[in-house]
Amino acid sequence: EIVLTQSPATLSLSPGERATLSCRASRSVSSYLAWYQQKPGQAPRLLIYDASNRATGIPARFSGSGSGTDFTLTISSLEPEDFAVYYCQQRSDWPRTFGQGTKLQIK
Amino acid sequence: EVQLLESGGGLVQPGGSLRLSCAASGFTFSNYAMSWVRQAPGKGLEWLSIISGSGGSTNSADSVKGRFTISRDNSKNTLYLQMNSLGAEDTAVYYCAKGGWSSVFDIWGQGTMVTVSS
């Protein structure tokens, strides 16, 4: 199966700062990578699909890039509501797999 | 409004069975593949199973193959997950999600908790 490795495990930043989250695949997933945000007690929410496309209603401060095995989620200027756990997920092969998550916390 | 609402979770003894349901509304249910994803307490997300819009094709993770069965009733706009031979490792919040076959999981339910314990 394709293993997705996210880094860092925890990222401590302040509101207004730029956040850069990484996801590395064990083999190429082409551009078939998505990013989800999950807040405590809530279901995940789709942010980015196919590496760089924002989902409906997602603010422009969220952007995704990458292809093949290396992907990045960037939040240009953190808002208080952005502090959450972020997961990447591939749909290139079966089984569908998720990264272990990056916790974005307030510094 | 597009909505998914899971039900059927609860406390079950090891070796027992449970059936989860996911009621869909706000979209043409039969047009979309549907999936189940779970999250153990304090852990990450694990995809479990998927079914095509017609119900004619399914796929599952090895961890649940032979124990869990995904199905759907398009006349009732409802997705199911029959879970048998449950063990402590199956304790988790179970989410249904729209998509997953040739698309991402774009809509998620609120989840239903399953606890396997004696």
Over residues B83-114, the pLDDT tens digits come to 999 999 999 999 999 999 989 999 999 999 99
Facing residue for B59 by CB, picked from A38, A49, A94 = A94
Q: Per residue of chain A (107 residues), give pLDDT as tens.
A: 999 999 999 999 999 999 999 999 999 999 999 999 999 999 999 999 999 999 999 999 999 999 999 999 999 999 999 999 999 999 999 999 999 999 999 99
Please, are residues B90 and B83 in contact by the beta-carbon 8 Å criterion? yes
Please, are residues B50 and B101 in contact by the beta-carbon 8 Å criterion? yes
- pLDDT, mean over chain B: 97
In this structure, what token pair is assigned to residue B41?
């307490």
pLDDT at B79: 98
* Cβ separation A91–B102 shorter than 8 A: yes
Cα–Cα distance, A99 to A97 (Å, whole number): 7
pLDDT at A25: 98
What's the gap between Cα A37 and its chain centre?
A: 7
Q: Which of B6, B104, B106, B108 to mutate to test the interface with A (most CBs of A within 10 A)?
A: B104
What's the gap between Cα A48 and its chain centre?
A: 8
Facing residue for B44 by CB, picked from A43, A55, A100 = A100
Chain A touched by B45 (CB under 8 Å): yes
Please, are residues A37 and A99 in contact by the beta-carbon 8 Å criterion? no
* Cβ separation A98–B100 shorter than 8 A: no
- Strands B10-12 and B112-116, bridge-based pairing: parallel
- By C-alpha distance, the chain B residue nearest A49 is B104
> With bands split at pLDDT 50, 70 and 90, how would you rate the model's confidence at B40?
very high
Chain A touched by B73 (CB under 8 Å): no
Q: Which of A71, A96, A98 to mutate to test the interface with B (most CBs of B within 10 A)?
A: A96
Mean pLDDT of the B1-18 span: 98
How far is CA B100 from each of CA A5, B16, B28, B63, rounded to the nearest angstrom? 20, 28, 16, 18
- By C-alpha distance, the chain A residue nearest B60 is A95
In this structure, what token pair is assigned to residue B68?
């869990």
pLDDT at B29: 98
Cβ atoms within 10 Å of A83's Cβ, excluding its own: 19
Please, are residues A71 and A88 in contact by the beta-carbon 8 Å criterion? yes
